[in-house]
Amino acid sequence: MSEITDLSASQLLLLYRDRVFGFKPMTPTLPVVAFPVGLNRPQLYINHPQGDWSPFTYPFNLTQQPAASVPCGFTKNGLPVGVQIVAAKYRDLLVLQAAKAYENVSPFITLAQTAKY
């Protein structure tokens, strides 16, 4: 693992993608921005099925593929954004290793923490 210590978060994800899959095993966690606490779906999707506003998560449950969502930044309005790392069935450890490696090179920093610097 020493070869990845000097990589940026984006370089790490590309290395993971290229070495393990040869395709892009990452998606946004959601295609919509975070919505207010207390709502169980975005306001624009109140009368829509869940698959309309969360198309990237449920397919992996159906295919029994392991996936992990890790925070990767914020929108221009300060809302959190996540990236979902996915692997083939039974490759749970690989997903966890990739998520940990990503968090090691790109630790999650809250907006409150950035205001201190």
Structure-block tokens of residue 13 = 């994800």
For the chain, report the end-to-end CA distance as a whole number of angstroms. Answer: 31
Domain boundaries, the chain: 2-115
Indicate the SS3 state at residue 96.
helix
Residue-wise pLDDT tens digits, 5-16:
455 666 666 666
The model's pTM is 0.71
Model confidence at 69, in pLDDT bands (50, 70, 90)?
very high
* C-beta separation of 114 from 91 below 8 A: no
Angle between helices 9-16 and 92-105 (to 10 degrees): 160
Q: Answer yes or no: is pLDDT of 116 > 60.
A: no
